Structure 1
Amino acid sequence: MSTAIITGASRGLGLALARALAGPDRRLIIDARGAAELERAARELGRQGDVVALAGDVADPAHRRALVAAAGDRVDLLVNNASVLGPSPQPSLAGYPLDELQRVMRVNVLAPLALIQLALPRMAPGAAIVNVTSDAAVEPYPGWGGYGSAKAALEQLGAVLAAEHPQLRILTVDPGDMRTRMHQEAFPGEDISDRPPPEASVPGLLALIGGTQPSGRYVARDVAVTVTA
């Protein structure tokens, strides 16, 4: 049985991916900050396979240690999906509160790296790390300086880790725009019903997780189109 850790799995993309990965041949370790939402997700996913749910903040070192300990001696897949947007509405960099930026960096950059550091000794050749990123990491959208710079840093960490650990598959994946709570927070008061649901990004993620693509940056929906073409 393989083991996967998925952070931020109580809703949105994390839950959609967990639903697709859950099954009798895979053990899932999932987390989220909201205990009630996480418990509902765990009950649902538990009908498909073995699921361990731990409520907590990935920025908390003790919580990270508990996640990796729950996985046991082997981690086949680590999905760093949990992240925070920062202030909403998003401020320009000229007025960005630095304490809020530190929080964004702790959750979106330092926490994924810390989880990777803990998981690496338990990952055999061929294991995969998926770091969920955004086009805000590569495009200079006004107002996205905090979140975008954090995701850009995460992307560079993934690239360097791939060079340092060629025996692993370290995949930086942009899921694209999605109709999620975080996306709504980024556009308060706007109608985002035209955005696709997070489930639309899952086929590409599954193709990457189960495929042989080398380490690198991918756009999930482009991968899905390539695989099904």
Structure 2
Amino acid sequence: MWSTATAHSARRSTLDANGFPVDSNFGDSFMKLSSSPLKITDYLAPIDVMQHANNDNDFGSRGAMRLPDPTTGNGIVRHLAVAAGRVNRIYVVDRDSMDKFSRVLTGTLAGGIWGSPVYFNGAVHYGGLNDNIKAQLVTIAMLAAAASSKSPTTFAYPGTVPAISANGTSSAILWAAENGTTGALHACDQPISPASSITVIRPARATSRGANKFTTPMISRGKADVGATNGVAMFGLRE
């Protein structure tokens, strides 16, 4: 098991012989947990973890995501996970050795992340603050630093939490809820391209229902459900 954690009292000044905090404070860290017994077996903290804590830049503002196990060009299988926080960085860690095999991608995102990414068909999709939804390919066990494609829309605070519906690996649609005075549900072809078919739904009752932060659209049985401040907005096919 593994997780990200946030605690604004994070301290890394004193470590034990194994490199773990002597006070067991793993705030703003990537953690790997064993299940029997439950304990922390490995962790990775940003090098500027104290600055994260002092500036309220949670590393764990949204959870980590485990990737399907990719293979390097030398045939080595990697066990990777990704996470991002309130600063525009994406952390890629090897779950087998977090402190030795990790990458930090800086500048890929325009702003911080308040939502988990979604993975589909070899690409990780993040919807950052004041940013487009960006698709980053995973190739030979490496997450690309540059986006291979992006949505035509940028999303204000707090960004967006994308979702994807598909029939297996075909007929895929990328969904995203937009926060604001009047909420909106965005849908576009996936993979995203300049020729993508884009639909933006701004229902007449959206203002009364209220847009909501940190909302992930849920797609099931031909309907899209989006959580609002005072209910659930449900969208279906036109009859």
State the TM-score bracket (shorter-chain normalisation).
under 0.3
- With the length of structure 1 as denominator, give the TM-score of the two structures: 0.27
Larger Rg: 2
Structure number with higher helix proportion: 1
